[in-house]
Each structure stands twice: as structure tokens, then as C-alpha cells.
Structure 1
């Protein structure tokens, strides 16, 4: 099972990520944009990947992933069951969320290293 410490290590390894609570729950941001946070109970996390990636993941593995929408109209991200996702996949999702939310110049700098 993926734990907060794992998500923290994945997120904090990326440039300019800060840990900042999201509705009193652990969250991670880049450029003050949320990229991932835990849900109450620590069994699920929300990662702010692109809508197409979330749709694909949820369709392929509905027991592990679910799309998250606010008010049924605004796409939020991908809910991940932390007991069922692999470490490698969770790390990939955190990086994809970072790439989705980070400023383009920061992503370009990171990719040029």
C-alpha cells in the first residue's frame, strides 16, 4: 500500500514542489497549483493529471482509478486506490500531475537536465 511518506517522496523530488494542506489534508503544490492530495482516511489520493489520462486509467482499471468531477461539470483529477496501485505507477502519476500543473518553463528546464 502506498503511504503519505511515499507520495511525499515522489512529489518532493520534483522541482518547486511544496507541501501545503488542502482542506486540512496533506497536499502538494507547484506554482501554488494543487498536483496531488490525500483524501480523508488515507486510502485514496487525488492526482491532478489531464482529463484524457484520467479517463483512460478509469476505463482500464475501474477498481483502482476513478475520475473526479466537482459539481458534475469541472474536472478535478484522478482518484487512486492506494492499496491497489503499484509504487511505480503512483510515482508516474505524481510526475504526470506535476507536468500538468507546473509552468511550462519549469517543465522545460527539468527536461533539459
Structure 2
């Protein structure tokens, strides 16, 4: 099972990520944009990946992933991940994907050039 410490380690390894609570729960941001946050109970995390990535993951493994929408399906939020069912490698990949989705393009370019 993925724990908060795992998520923290994956997120904080990426450039300019800061930990900042999201509704009093652990959350991580880049350029003041939410990247990933835990839900109450620490059993699920929400990742701010793109809509296409979320739909693909939820379609391929609905027992692990779920698309998250607000306001009756009007606003796409991200991808809910069951932390007991996702692998550490996949969680790390998803956090980087969310970071790439939310980070400024110049920061991503700098990271890729290293």
C-alpha cells in the first residue's frame, strides 16, 4: 500500500514542489497549482493529471482508478487512485505526470534538459 510518506517522497523529488494542506489534508503543489492530495482516511489520493490520462486509466483499471468530476460532471478534477491497489512505480509515474501537467512549461523543459 502507498503511504503518505511515499507520496511525499515522490512529489518532493520533483522541482519546485511544496507541501501545503488541501482542506486540512496532505497536499502538494507546483507553481501554486495543486498536483496531488490525499482524501480523508488516507485510502485514496487525487492526482491532477489530464482528462485523457484519467479516462484511460479509469477505463483500463476501474478497480484502481476513477475519474473525479465536480458540479454534476461539469468540472474535471483529476484521477482518484486507490492507494491499496496501485503499485509504487505506477504511483510515482502518475505523480510525475501530474507535475508535468501542472508545472510551468519552462520548469518542465529545464527538468527534461538535465
The answer to whether the superposition gives a TM-score over 0.5 is yes
| 1:42 Cα offset (Å) | 0.2
Secondary structure, in 3 states, of the residue corresponding to 2:69?
strand
| 1:98 Cα offset (Å) | 0.2
2:31 is aligned to 31
Secondary structure, in 3 states, of the residue corresponding to 1:68?
strand
| 1:7 Cα offset (Å) | 0.2
| 1:81 Cα offset (Å) | 0.1
1:85 is aligned to 86
1:69 is aligned to 69
Runs of 5+ unmatched residues, structure 2: none
Give per-residue Cα distances to partners, 1:57-105, cap 9 Å, x unaligned. 0000000000000112110000000000000000000000000000000
How large is the Cα RMSD of the aligned pairs? 0.3
> Following the alignment from structure 1 to structure 2, what is the Cα–Cα distance between the partners of residues 94 and 73?
24
> Following the alignment from structure 1 to structure 2, what is the Cα–Cα distance between the partners of residues 93 and 70?
21
| 1:106 Cα offset (Å) | 0.1
Structure 1 moving runs of 4+ over 4 Å: none
> Following the alignment from structure 1 to structure 2, what is the Cα–Cα distance between the partners of residues 63 and 41?
18
> Following the alignment from structure 1 to structure 2, what is the Cα–Cα distance between the partners of residues 23 and 92?
25
> Following the alignment from structure 1 to structure 2, what is the Cα–Cα distance between the partners of residues 47 and 94?
7
2:50 is aligned to 50
Runs of 5+ unmatched residues, structure 1: none
> Following the alignment from structure 1 to structure 2, what is the Cα–Cα distance between the partners of residues 94 and 74?
21
Secondary structure, in 3 states, of the residue corresponding to 1:25?
coil
